[in-house]
Structure 1
């Protein structure tokens, strides 16, 4: 550092020190400043003391008011848990709110291989609100006293100041998932106006993700409900929805794919508002459910309010049996929680598929073998229709040379009507209907769709392994790359891949047997038919492996049937038979195909109308 610079820094420091010395406060000024700070501190302490005194006074006044409150004792309780259980379910009831706090199913496991918990803690809540004469009652803020406790029953008593109480009586049925719930007032007539006849209910729950596949489970998770005297309905599975139901209702269900929490009204739910809000993938939850409603309440206690809960599996016959436990003897139709498709498909599943599945399951076989045998039996039942459809295609195939001659005869596009008319006449002479293969295929379709609805809802497949699939109720991800790919996900289901490959082979066989020559429209249809099995990889990749396995086996059996029929069908003999029929039809026109005659007549009529239209247009131009 230069000498001049050093001298400059020393001078600046000296000036600053001197300025501080000459401007420091005197001892009198320092005393005044200290006195000012002490005064401020005293004011702050006085203000804090005043606030504390006001709070203490408010607390004393509140205590004085509470001591005369109807709910004084109900606010002084302590939170504790009472457990009710049987061999199927364990329920924990909390004295705060007197509600069911958690539900555990003993015969089913979660993804952690521990007994499955439907809800616990803050995942769910239930509150009853009563409009009192002087003060309202909200049960979720109050403490109940457990009495008459057994392994399967308890009375949650809400004591009232000055006598009287409100009882919540819970009774768990033996060997059942049904919990009876009775609400009864005693000595509380003076607390309510004579006009009070109802109680308001708020029930909410976050539906946990209980299965491996979020998107597949989410498709079958919905808030469902049943209107009295009508069938059940449900809110959207994919978007937020709120609905108001003005009609009386029998029950409200917070439903997952395989399990449900159902709140059942003994004296109807009225003025109900239901809301379902989907949750984000990865949150551990599927939906946020919320229901507000009202039901009957008698403040005099002469008639109790009767309700029920069902915490259990969506198993068709279990739900049917539970209907018999309804408090008023009516048919709750809770089996509707197992979605089996539209009415026709539901009828097939209810009276055929479920009984066949249960019969095969009773043999003690693995679920994979049960699905295999069920597929074989279904294929055997629809075989007559399959055979008829194949023979119709075979007849069209042996007549193909005659059709090719007609195509050569009318190569021009303007002769399309004549070509089609002559082709129909050909089929009519030989007694063959191009539509003969469509009707048998349509007959098989309802069974195919019925099983599409049954398999994903069959709780029996849940956590049942077969071959490489550890759980037939969800996708198998033997091929997993761990990175999400749009439309495909982070895995490739092997059963889905096998199903798609078998579908491609099946499509190839079908196209070969229906080949009617070079036709641009037919070529485009072929591409579409081959494209669909490829699209199935993206559509069904997240579906249950049980469903993909069923489709794979069904497609494989179809391939075998087509190959056997092709080998055993003598097409030369079939053509000779058609030639003989053609001669018979030529001598007796009444034996011709009725449908073909009608189509030919319709085409002739269309051709006549076209000629008349052309003549009118030529006349106008003249």
Structure 2
């Protein structure tokens, strides 16, 4: 029974970590589209001051399968608003946001160019669609542009006047610097009024961060006030894991619309997101897939999603007006920043995207772990050291449970001679074998679940920390020892044959697992079970081989601490209690020797 529990526990751990890793790997690769070089306006030299509005002529960059804006908007007038953290580019086409550059986050490690959200530019962010006469290509007039506000206006056939106002800083003191306030007023100019209609706002286009990003967090997400509704790329392009197991027809789709209350909607990837929170609730989100060229120096194509959120505009009386407004966060997925918003915008972190309970991991454990790690980083100034300290803290918190599991495994290993004896005695009588096995457990006061339950209790903590590390924007481009970027695999060299990466941290992790197994008592004498357990470090290493270095660092350090704990347990824990056979006879309890292995004689 104990060997079954051990196998179940190991398989649960493997399934938990594999689900975090595999995600979209069952999806077929996207086909690259022709690459168009993006236009990039230079950043100002004084980032702490609001700069005067710059107007320039250029084309909107785009890499997508949808109708291109480039060429049609050759006369676009571009304006800018900025603060210390972002530079927002506005375009009069759509009277909306062309893109947002993050001054605190570089495009690549060491680059002076910022990461730009909505770089593919399928359509301007917050451009209006579904209203007759309005769209991403509607040419607005720039009414005014100051240090913190841009206003656009357009009149449609003398019947409808649309005024769009965007501002940074908002009216609230201490407002988040990544927040953009948006207000659109539609005023009826006719004598007939206007019926109720629908307006959809673009969330922009989000894409993969790097060739090592497999898209677990690439999605269009809506929050209904209680739960999230997510659309992933594999739902659009067909195939994927659900199709593989028969839960989806696997047919590609041009778009997917999901109805329901929308308190806020987001377009996001591993580290960045655009989150629109309307003054009133929306009623649906629509996602469309975007195909992009391969990453530079890689044959793997990038891919992305563009999304819109739809709102109902009430009917207007003659000369009346309707207002559509909201707050638009475009910035990094930093939990400490997002948790300060009132509508649970921190759920965009998606700490538990797969497998385990979102309520437990996302709502309780992962946020606490994130805030604790950020605090530790403030103390030590290095994210690698902060991860090590967090791993040590988790080991201390779970020490009573892991010690109980270690002691139980050691006691169970001592029972194996008795277990082997009854198996041979009742090998053709399964019912009597079960009765004798249970009697051995009872008379020796051993809980067959004693080695499994403590691990299952602590597992959510470690899985939550593991999942949290994957989507933490602060880890991007941070270094530790030989690792140049903790958010990507620590590839130090590529093999000449097959261009296979040599990642050191996962190899160290596998080595610690092998040594840990050597120190740990084997709770079974079944050769098949023993052989299977020997392969677990290899399987786990292969699964984790292309994990981000931060995840491999955590797993490696956790293994080192576990080895130290097991050495102490083996040296300090003595159990001289005689073993009791199923009839009540006592036998000598031989101490388990970690240096003694089957088939090897001790010299």
Is TM (by shorter chain) over 0.5?
Answer: yes
Measure, in 2, the Cα distance between the counterparts of 1:139 and 1:236: 25
SS at match of 1:432: coil
Measure, in 2, the Cα distance between the counterparts of 1:236 and 1:130: 23
334, 340, 356: which one pairs with 2:351?
340
Answer with 200-209 or 434-443: which moved more. Answer: 200-209
State which structure, 1 or 2, has the greater radius of gyration over its C-alpha atoms.
Answer: 1
Measure, in 2, the Cα distance between the counterparts of 1:209 and 1:108: 15
Q: Which has the higher contact order (CA 8 A, sep 6+)?
A: 2
How do 1:504-583 residues align onto structure 2 when only pairs under 5 Å count? 504-510=514-520, 513-517=521-525, 522-571=526-575, 574-576=576-578
SS at match of 1:80: strand
Measure, in 1, the Cα distance between the counterparts of 2:228 and 2:73: 43
| 2:495 is aligned with 1:481 | yes
Partner of 1:170: 166
| 8 A Cα contact 1:212 1:474, kept in partner | no
Structure 2: unaligned runs, 5 residues or longer: 1-71, 170-174, 237-252, 587-603
Quote the offset at 1:553 in angstroms: 0.5
| 2:313 is aligned with 1:296 | yes
| 8 A Cα contact 2:218 2:305, kept in partner | no
Partner of 1:589: none
Alignment CA distance shift 1:194-1:381 (3 Å): same
Partner of 2:128: 128
Quote the offset at 1:92 in angstroms: 0.9
Measure, in 2, the Cα distance between the counterparts of 1:163 and 1:206: 32
Partner of 2:592: none
Alignment CA distance shift 1:182-1:351 (3 Å): closer
**1:241-263: CA deviations, max 9, x gaps?**
64333323122211111001223
| 8 A Cα contact 2:218 2:232, kept in partner | no
| 8 A Cα contact 1:504 1:533, kept in partner | yes
| 8 A Cα contact 2:207 2:305, kept in partner | no
Partner of 1:471: 485
Partner of 1:200: 199
How do 1:137-536 residues align onto structure 2 when only pairs under 5 Å count? 137-159=133-155, 165-173=161-169, 175-186=176-187, 188-190=188-190, 193-201=192-200, 203=202, 205-211=204-210, 213-215=212-214, 218-227=215-224, 229-240=225-236, 242-276=255-289, 281-282=294-295, 285-291=302-308, 293-296=310-313, 299=316, 300-321=319-340, 323-324=341-342, 331=343, 333-341=344-352, 342=357, 343-350=359-366, 352-407=368-423, 410=425, 413-481=427-495, 484=498, 490-510=500-520, 513-517=521-525, 522-536=526-540
Quote the offset at 1:292 in angstroms: 6.2
Measure, in 1, the Cα distance between the counterparts of 2:536 and 2:366: 30
Structure 1: unaligned runs, 5 residues or longer: 1-74, 325-330, 586-622
Alignment CA distance shift 1:415-1:177 (3 Å): same
Measure, in 1, the Cα distance between the counterparts of 2:427 and 2:467: 45
Answer with 118-127 or 93-102: which moved more. Answer: 118-127
Alignment CA distance shift 1:374-1:77 (3 Å): closer
Quote the offset at 1:83 in angstroms: 0.7
Which has the larger share of helix?
A: 1
Alignment CA distance shift 1:295-1:309 (3 Å): farther
SS at match of 1:253: strand
Quote the offset at 1:498 in angstroms: 1.0
Measure, in 2, the Cα distance between the counterparts of 1:291 and 1:226: 14
Answer with 339-348 or 84-93: which moved more. Answer: 339-348
Alignment CA distance shift 1:482-1:464 (3 Å): farther
SS at match of 1:414: coil
Answer with 77-86 or 146-155: which moved more. Answer: 77-86
TM-score by length of 1: 0.70
Measure, in 2, the Cα distance between the counterparts of 1:336 and 1:264: 13
SS at match of 2:449: helix
Alignment CA distance shift 1:500-1:281 (3 Å): farther
Q: CA RMSD in A?
A: 3.1
Query: What is the aligned length?
Result: 478
Measure, in 1, the Cα distance between the counterparts of 2:309 and 2:491: 41
| 8 A Cα contact 2:194 2:315, kept in partner | no
Measure, in 2, the Cα distance between the counterparts of 1:473 and 1:261: 21
Measure, in 2, the Cα distance between the counterparts of 1:530 and 1:206: 46
TM-score by length of 2: 0.72
Alignment CA distance shift 1:480-1:405 (3 Å): same
